[in-house]
């Protein structure tokens, strides 16, 4: 019995479970002995670093929450994926690790069986999506293998579906089909592409004029987070008034306190990133090793900055209009009775930039601007709706920042509230969609152009 208890203790410890996941991946990928030891240890330590960063971040978020509620009489939320996922690990750590490992397997199986041969390699987004499904299903009381399997089916099929849906746009952007979009802001990117195609002219590209280089420091996520948080903390410190802030600071100077808390927030996010980076840096190579052996012709779906070099100016324009969209939407949240979503700079930069590139490919300058704006509106309203499906975590002053986390979370949460049967149906719908989309829509396949070319040359040889 003691051994069983020991085993159970080990397996319910999230850091060890993630470490086991890395261990299995590295062994299957036939990594060398030193690589297996380093990879497994670093993954476990990465997870412990993640927890430490989360504690620092909570310390900085608490006073901000009070300042916002005192200043505006509202619940204010800064969507930061890293933060909410780190917080979710306290209650759903083991579930998240289990779903993540199984979701990779589901992705590989679907890529093998359907015509949508995409392998999603943005490991941190798989981690976040796994945490999201664990939370939205888990808060309704569903647990154990049911939670693991449904969570993995939902996460794994979204890992195939989203790159597929973005593929027609990616063909326009990269002028080829070697890489797919593997980032969970894809709903907003496609919306940006569609709106862009309506409002602008793709021939008038953003890349024909120059944007000052002085804005490019926002690419450094630590700097952009720090600058944005300084602005946010100082604004709400002013709104809440010195009396409230001095009380929070335990009698210290309120402005110094606000500045230090803002920078502590940035520090916490960075520490969490160090942890996530350690985990992902070990798991992704193992996973790529496995997938390249099992599914040779699969197309890798990669993180959003992969499209930035195709239109760097569109990235800056998309970022700017995305923040603008977020600020404009913020005005409507209060009157609609929704929580106040404060623009988080990291999601706005990366997804706004991606939306700018998609908008530019379909509608040039105006397309990029409109695309960024649409992204900003979506990642403000969707996270606000998502909050009600996150149980106690919904009161943590932070939430998921990107469009796909929001829509998947909202639908999954809605289904989960109605009962476990509906979660199973929802998971089955997503899996079925991978098969059906692959059969019905040739443009969503990764080899559409190649097949077109083949068909054309075959027709030619017949005619000749």
Partner 1 sequence: MIRVFAVCGMGLGTSAILKTRLKAALDASGVDYMLDVTDASAARGQQADLIFTSAELAEGLKGSPAKIVIIKNFMDREEINEKVKEAIEELQ
Of 97 and 306, nearer to partner 1 (C-beta) is 306
Burial classification of residue 144, based on how many CB atoms lie within 10 Å of its CB (0-12 exposed, 13-18 middle, 19 or more buried): exposed
Q: Torsions phi, psi of 162, nearest 5? A: -65, -45
**Distance in Å, CB of 303 to partner 1, minimum:** 2
What the block records as the tokens of 184 is 């969970």
Helices 403-418 and 186-199: angle between axes, nearest 10 degrees: 120
Q: Which of 48, 222, 418, 439 binds partner 1 (CB under 8 A)?
A: 222
- 13 interacts with partner 1 by CB under 8 A: no
- 122 interacts with partner 1 by CB under 8 A: yes
- 391 interacts with partner 1 by CB under 8 A: no
Q: Which of 13, 201, 221, 246 binds partner 1 (CB under 8 A)?
A: 221
Is residue 385 within 8 Å of 410, Cβ to Cβ? yes
**Distance in Å, CB of 2 to partner 1, minimum:** 39
Span of 9-17, 215-223, 396-404, 417-425 interacting with partner 1 by CB under 8 A: 215-223
Query: Whose CA is closest to 137, among 443, 390, 457?
Result: 390
Of 184 and 236, nearer to partner 1 (C-beta) is 184
Of 82 and 196, nearer to partner 1 (C-beta) is 82
Of 125 and 365, nearer to partner 1 (C-beta) is 125
- 52 interacts with partner 1 by CB under 8 A: no
Query: Whose CA is closest to 245, among 56, 76, 68, 75?
Result: 68
Map the footprint of partner 1 across residues 345-384, applying CB under 8 A: 346, 350
**Distance in Å, CB of 460 to partner 1, minimum:** 31
What the block records as the tokens of 38 is 């380093």
Is residue 339 within 8 Å of 350, Cβ to Cβ? no
**What does the alpha-carbon distance between residue 89 and residue 16 come to, in Å, rounded to a whole number?**
13
Of 53 and 65, nearer to partner 1 (C-beta) is 53
Q: Which of 27, 48, 223, 428 binds partner 1 (CB under 8 A)?
A: 223
With b meaning 16 or more CB within 10 Å and e meaning fewer, what string describes 376-405?
bbbbbbbbbbbbebbeebbebbbbbbbbbb
- 171 interacts with partner 1 by CB under 8 A: no
- 80: part of which helix (H) or strand (E)? none
Of 158 and 384, nearer to partner 1 (C-beta) is 158
Of 42 and 244, nearer to partner 1 (C-beta) is 42
Is residue 132 within 8 Å of 409, Cβ to Cβ? yes
What's the Cα-to-Cα distance from 335 to each of 76, 235, 331, 338, rounded to whole Å? 14, 21, 8, 8
Of 262 and 370, nearer to partner 1 (C-beta) is 262
Q: Which of 90, 220, 392, 458 binds partner 1 (CB under 8 A)?
A: 220
Q: Which of 178, 203, 210, 460 binds partner 1 (CB under 8 A)?
A: 178
- 117 interacts with partner 1 by CB under 8 A: no
Map the footprint of partner 1 across residues 255-274, applying CB under 8 A: 273-274
**Distance in Å, CB of 220 to partner 1, minimum:** 5
**Distance in Å, CB of 331 to partner 1, minimum:** 30
Q: Which of 63, 96, 114, 124 binds partner 1 (CB under 8 A)?
A: 124
Map the footprint of partner 1 across residues 130-159, applying CB under 8 A: none
What the block records as the tokens of 186 is 């894809």
Query: Whose CA is closest to 404, among 371, 375, 441?
Result: 375
Place of tokens 């099992």: 294
**What does the alpha-carbon distance between residue 390 and residue 396 come to, in Å, rounded to a whole number?**
10
Of 24 and 194, nearer to partner 1 (C-beta) is 24
Of 133 and 224, nearer to partner 1 (C-beta) is 224
Map the footprint of partner 1 across residues 273-312, applying CB under 8 A: 273-274, 276-277, 280-281, 284-285, 288-289, 300, 302-306, 308-309, 312
* Pairing verdict, β 299-302 and 340-341: unpaired
Contacts by 101-104, CB closer than 8 A, 24 or more apart: 101/21, 101/24, 102/148, 102/149, 102/151, 102/152, 102/156, 103/129, 103/130, 103/151, 103/152, 103/155, 103/156, 103/159, 104/25, 104/156, 104/287
Question: What is the DSSP-derived secondary structure letter of residue 300?
Answer: E
**What does the alpha-carbon distance between residue 247 and residue 262 come to, in Å, rounded to a whole number?**
17
- 206 interacts with partner 1 by CB under 8 A: no
Span of 69-77, 105-113, 176-184, 239-247 interacting with partner 1 by CB under 8 A: 176-184
Number of shown-chain residues binding partner 1 (CB under 8 A): 37
Q: Which of 171, 172, 204, 219 binds partner 1 (CB under 8 A)?
A: 219
In the complex, which residues of this chain contact partner 1 (CB under 8 A)? 121-125, 178-179, 182-183, 216-217, 219-223, 273-274, 276-277, 280-281, 284-285, 288-289, 300, 302-306, 308-309, 312, 346, 350
């Amino acid at each position: 019995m003691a051994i069983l208890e020991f085993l159970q203790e080990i397996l319910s410890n999230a850091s060890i479970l993630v470490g086991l996941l890395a261990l299995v991946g590295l062994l299957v990928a036939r990594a060398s002995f030193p690589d297996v030891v380093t990879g497994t240890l670093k993954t476990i330590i990465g997870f412990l670093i993640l927890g430490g960063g989360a504690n620092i971040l909570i310390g900085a978020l608490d006073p901000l929450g009070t300042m916002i509620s005192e200043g505006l009489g509202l619940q204010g939320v800064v969507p930061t994926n890293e933060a909410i996922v780190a917080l979710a690990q306290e209650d759903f750590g083991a579930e998240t690790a289990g779903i993540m490992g199984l979701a990779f397997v589901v992705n590989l199986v679907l890529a093998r069986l359907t015509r949508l041969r995409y392998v999603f390699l943005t490991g941190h987004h798989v981690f976040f999506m796994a945490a999201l499904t664990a939370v939205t299903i888990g808060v309704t009381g569903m647990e154990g293998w049911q939670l693991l399997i449904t969570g993995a089916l939902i996460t794994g099929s979204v890992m195939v579906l989203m790159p597929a849906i973005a593929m027609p746009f990616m063909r326009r952007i990269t002028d080829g089909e070697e890489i797919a979009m593997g980032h969970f802001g894809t709903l907003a990117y496609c919306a940006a592409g569609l709106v862009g195609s309506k409002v602008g002219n793709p021939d008038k590209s953003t890349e024909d004029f120059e944007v000052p280089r002085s804005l490019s420091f926002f690419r450094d996520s630590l700097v952009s987070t720090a600058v944005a948080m300084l602005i946010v903390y100082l604004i709400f410190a002013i709104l809440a008034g010195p009396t409230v802030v001095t009380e929070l600071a335990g009698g210290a100077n309120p402005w110094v306190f606000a500045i230090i808390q803002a920078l502590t927030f940035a520090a916490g996010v960075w520490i969490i990133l160090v942890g996530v980076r350690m985990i992902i840096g070990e798991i992704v190579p193992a996973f790529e090793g496995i997938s390249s052996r099992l599914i040779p012709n699969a197309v890798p779906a990669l993180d959003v900055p992969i499209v930035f070099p195709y239109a760097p100016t569109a990235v800056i324009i998309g970022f700017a209009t995305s923040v603008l969209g977020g600020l404009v939407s913020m005005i409507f949240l209060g009157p609609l009775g929704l929580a106040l979503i404060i623009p988080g700079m990291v999601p706005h930069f990366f997804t706004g930039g991606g939306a700018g590139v998609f908008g530019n490919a379909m509608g040039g300058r105006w397309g990029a601007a409109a695309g960024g704006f649409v992204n900003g509106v979506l990642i403000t309203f969707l996270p606000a709706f998502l909050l009600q499906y996150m149980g106690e975590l919904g009161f943590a002053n932070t939430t998921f920042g990107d469009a796909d986390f929001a829509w998947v979370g909202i639908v999954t949460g809605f289904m989960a509230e109605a009962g476990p049967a509906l979660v199973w149906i929802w998971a089955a719908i997503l899996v079925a969609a991978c098969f059906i989309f692959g059969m019905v829509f040739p443009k969503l396949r990764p080899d559409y152009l190649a097949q077109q070319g083949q068909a054309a040359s075959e027709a030619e040889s017949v005619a000749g």
